[in-house]
Structure 1
Amino acid sequence: MATLNTYLNFNGNTEEAFNFYKSVFGGEFLVVQRYKDSPGCDGMPVDDQEKLMHIALPIGGNILMGTDITAPMPPATLGTGISLSVDATSEEEAKRLFDTLSAGGTITMALEKTFWNALFGMATDKFGIQWMVNYDYK
């Protein structure tokens, strides 16, 4: 079966965002590739050459990936079209993940026990990415 991973687009702050996600989830980056290290990018503005063309952070059995959008691509629009859902392995982990991800962001739904027998909360992090944190008591 195919594997589905998440790829996030940012407007120049991918490195900051992924260092934050690394601090939340742990692990090491599989790849950190800047535009300047790629063939055919020497004509780009110097500032764009320093941006991240690709970064990958394993989380559980999946990989969170990202890039800085540069011209001629239109800027990334962060919005409500997607949420990343993370399933914690314990109540304590769910609380830590939720508190860390929501710090500096906006809590949409406080982390609390639900009628479907889970601890669940929703927040938008300080980079505009929406997260759902879940711990299933079953």
Structure 2
Amino acid sequence: MQIQPYVFFNGRCEEALGFYADKLGAEVLFKMHYKDAPPDANRPADAKNDNLVMHASVKIGSSILMMSDDCMSEKVTHDGFRLSLTGDDLAHGEKLYNALAEGGTVNMPWQATFWTQGFGMVTDKFGIGWMVTIPDAN
């Protein structure tokens, strides 16, 4: 059994895919736009959503993150959770943290804590909260 995060974007999923590929090395495994879905007589497609992402799966490190533009909701919120990202070492963790902070909001600066030499929290420019850490060296 696995738990895989599924993150929704308000029309910015395509942009987020590019950002995460550039900043985190995310690899797009699958991507489908709404215009690519088969017709459904019970749920006619709205042409304004044609080029929005219906579903995408990306691999970041050894984890899979699923994402889409949520066309079922009027407003997408990202409250009550954060994605946790573990860097390989101090320099790598700080690089990931700084990359996610570009255009976003620093919630806790990158710093040493009592449990690790590198930890910080940021909300990226898409409103996704991240906790970036490195493994404890002890």
TM-score when scaled to structure 2? Answer: 0.90
Letter of the 1:122 partner, please give it: M
Alignment match, 2:111: 112
Contact kept? 1:10, 1:66, Cα under 8 Å: yes
Percent identity between the two aligned chains:
36
Letter of the 1:24 partner, please give it: K
Contact kept? 1:34, 1:50, Cα under 8 Å: yes
Contact kept? 2:108, 2:120, Cα under 8 Å: yes
Q: How many Å separate the matches in 2 of 1:34 and 1:86?
A: 27
Alignment match, 1:91: 90
CA RMSD of aligned residues (A): 1.6
Contact kept? 1:78, 1:129, Cα under 8 Å: no
Contact kept? 1:4, 1:62, Cα under 8 Å: no
TM-score when scaled to structure 1? Answer: 0.90
Q: Deviations over 1:70-117 (max 9, x none)?
A: 1xx223432331100001111111111000101111101000000113
Contact kept? 1:83, 1:132, Cα under 8 Å: yes
Segments of 5+ residues of structure 2 without an aligned counterpart are none
Where has structure 1 moved over 4 Å in runs of 4 or more? none
Alignment match, 2:4: 5
Contact kept? 2:26, 2:61, Cα under 8 Å: no
